[in-house]
Amino acid sequence: MNITNILLTFVVLIIVGVLIKYVIEKNKNAEVEEGIDIDDKTYTIEKMKEFVKRRLDEITKINLYDIGLSEEELKRRKAKKYELKRALKGCTYGDVNDKKYVKELIYDLLFKEYGVTEVNISKAIPFDIPSLLSSQDKFDILLYAYKKDFGYEALAQIIKKYNLATLKYIAGEAKPCYVITKEEIDDIFDKEALVLTFQDKLNVVVQRIYQHYKGYSSIDEIRDMNIDGVSGRSIRTSRKFFKPSCTNRWRLLRTNYRTQSTKSM
Amino acid sequence: MAIVSFWSNGREETGKSSAIVALSTLLGVNHNYKILVLDTKYNDNFYQDCFWKEDKTIKMINSNNAKTDIGHGISGLSKAILSNKTSPEIVTNYTKIVFKDRLELLMDTNVEPEEYERHKTIFTDIVKMANKYYDLVFIDIDSSLDNKLTDSLLEISNLVVVCLPQKLRKINEYLQLKEENLVLRSKPILPLIGRYDKHSKYNAKNVSRYIKEKRGICTIPYNTLFFEACNEATVADFFIKFRKINSKDRNAMFIADVRQTAEKIISRLQELQMRM
């Protein structure tokens, strides 16, 4: 090996060293998350749900020892991380307080990080065009508005105010039954003529994301109300009765996707 | 142990926040109390500027770290409180530390107005909870808060430190308010003149005689070095440096007055505790 080879080896080693140092420095200074690419689907419920899921995973799975925190800060962050983990676990069992906590976090993530505004929130749920709202959207908005005033008595109040707990004849059914129809919800929504602020709209969106992510889907809010329980029936399973005060497992409720659910007061 | 509210009437510059900074730092340095300062002002950077330098690198690291955090300050804590997570120990997870296990600050420097409106309703809950964990809770009551909220904060306080300027009109207004306001009438009060100028006609002796305050009035004099320290994030160093001060030093009077005021607050609290 002559002197030129040795020199070239040194030069290569120095270049590699400088490159490694540059990459390390770049990674150190790089932000944890890149900016959000905005397109037509960015502010749909699905995309927002994906974002929330990813961010909460990042927060709960991050190794705190890697980010160079002081001893005291590490202790605090560990406590907060544990609190969040506990809440995420608790809300799947229907804990109302954990649900509130997780919803507050989702609200912050969407508002501060995802950039949800008065304009783009309508892409998730078309609040500004009532004709485009589905009956579920209308029911969610109604329940939210009533919950603000009456708390957990909201559903009872809607039923009482519009006299919904009456026997009705439904097309295709021989016998009368207790049922709240789509038309009734549409009618109530029109009568109420609710004016929602941005905060209200975002809260409705947050609830929708939450109920598909950690909650009990469409019965999530109803289940929290002061009612005797929610009963669901499917072809496969026998009749199940879910009490708000009981711990219900998600596995049982999954059947609800394909079932007709009835509310019993 | 005790809640001490710092209150001033109107938007007059009374040196209230600087008095809190001086008193809490001195108590943190000289005593073994666990102190929390709660700033109720909207996006106020005063306390931040007093204790922490805004370094570009630190700011970037903090912003990166914040993305893996679930919230800090009053906004973070309010999330926990609003969802009924009410163990006193959680307060400390959301504060900023000046002296470990001695002086901590709870504030918000970058929140939206709507968020602040939502959070200010739970200030009383925060204070009540913090009181179970800390020995002393100092509340900087913002003069723009509505009367109901101010009254509720004053109501739960063990001692109200009324910050007065050296202005006759403001002193008269305070006297009138003291007569009219039920909460102020029922609470133990300690008048304090911030940014005090001893050469003024309205000096501590004259003002205490005028407002018929037999126990005398506390003062925090204007001190150039201290106010510079408040801008340069060196308040902690300032009080550590002057822990032992020569009586001939030009800052001796300031340190002596702050020390005297701190002692007076502690003795008043002990006296009130004895009575209960």
Q: Which of A80, A101, A111 sits opposite B83 (nearest CB)?
A: A101
Burial-class residue A85 by CB neighbours within 10 Å (0-12, 13-18, 19+): middle
Res. A247: pLDDT tops 60: no
Res. A31: pLDDT tops 70: no
Contact A104 B64 (CB under 8 A): no
Domain count for chain A, please give it: 1
Query: Could you say which residues from 57 to 96 on chain A have a Cβ atom under 8 Å away from some Cβ of chain B?
Result: 58-59, 62, 64, 67-69, 72, 76-77, 79-81, 83-84, 87
Q: What is the C-alpha R_g of chain A?
A: 26
Chain B hits for A68, Cβ within 8 Å: 61
Q: What is the arithmetic mean of pLDDT over A70-90?
A: 89
Place of tokens 């710092």: B6
Res. A234: pLDDT tops 70: no
Lowest mean pLDDT among A98-107, A212-221, B67-76, B164-173: B67-76
Contact A101 B92 (CB under 8 A): no
How many C-beta neighbours within 10 Å does residue A83 have? 18
Contacts of B69 (CB under 8 A, 6+ apart): A59, A77, A80, B76
Measure the CA dihedral B56/B58/B61/B63, to 10°. -70
Contact A80 B68 (CB under 8 A): no
For position B59, what pLDDT does the model report? 63
Q: Residue A140 and residue A222: Cα distance in Å, rounded?
A: 10
Distance from CA of A62 to the nearest CA of B (A): 7
Contacts of B55 (CB under 8 A, 6+ apart): none
Q: Evaluate whether residue A83 is within a structural domain.
A: no
pLDDT in tens, A156-209: 999 999 999 988 888 888 888 888 999 999 999 999 999 999 999 999 999 999
Contacts of B173 (CB under 8 A, 6+ apart): B9, B10
- CA proximity to B132, closest of B2, B270, B39: B2
Contact A62 B100 (CB under 8 A): no
Contacts of B244 (CB under 8 A, 6+ apart): none
Burial-class residue A35 by CB neighbours within 10 Å (0-12, 13-18, 19+): exposed
As a 3-state breakdown, chain B gives helix, strand, coil percent values, each rounded to 5, of: 50, 15, 35
pLDDT in tens, B123-173: 999 999 999 999 999 999 988 878 888 889 999 999 999 999 998 998 999
The pair of structure tokens assigned to A204 is: 């409705």
For position B105, what pLDDT does the model report? 94
**SS3 assignment, position B218:** strand
Q: Evaluate whether residue A182 is within a structural domain.
A: yes
Which CATH number does B2-275 carry?
Answer: 3.40.50.300
The pair of structure tokens assigned to A23 is: 């990459």
Q: Evaluate whether residue A37 is within a structural domain.
A: no
- CA proximity to B77, closest of B52, B94, B57: B94
Res. A263: pLDDT tops 70: no
For position B64, what pLDDT does the model report? 64
Res. B268: pLDDT tops 80: yes
Contacts of A30 (CB under 8 A, 6+ apart): none
Place of tokens 């912050």: A108
Q: How many CB pairs under 8 A join A and B?
A: 66
Contact B70 A98 (CB under 8 A): no
Q: Is the ipTM of this complex over 0.90?
A: no
pLDDT in tens, A129-171: 989 999 999 999 999 999 999 999 999 999 999 999 988 888 8
Going by DSSP bridges, is the β-strand pair A240-242/A229-233 parallel, antiparallel, or unpaired?
Answer: antiparallel
Position B221 confidence tier, pLDDT thresholds 50, 70, 90: very high
Give the residue on A whose Cα is nearest the Cα of B80.
A101
Domain residue limits at A136:
125-262
- CA proximity to A105, closest of A32, A31, A244, A209: A209
Q: Residue A136 and residue B268: Cα distance in Å, rounded?
A: 60
Q: What is the arithmetic mean of pLDDT over A105-123?
A: 91
Angle between helices A45-61 and A71-92 (to 10 degrees): 130
Distance from CA of A113 to the nearest CA of B (A): 9
pLDDT in tens, B39-51: 998 888 899 999 9
For position A252, what pLDDT does the model report? 42
**SS3 assignment, position A257:** helix
Q: What is the arithmetic mean of pLDDT over B236-261?
A: 92
Contact B70 A80 (CB under 8 A): yes
Chain B hits for A87, Cβ within 8 Å: 83
* Test the A interface: residue of B70, B77, B106 with most A CBs within 10 Å: B70
The size of chain B, in residues, is 276
Q: Which of A32, A72, A98 sits opposite B64 (nearest CB)?
A: A32
How large a percentage of chain A has pLDDT more than 70? Answer: 83
Edge-to-edge order in the sheet of strand A260-264: A240-242, A229-233, A260-264
Q: Which of B65, B85, B92 sits opposite A83 (nearest CB)?
A: B85
Q: What is the arithmetic mean of pLDDT over A88-92?
A: 90
**SS3 assignment, position A165:** coil
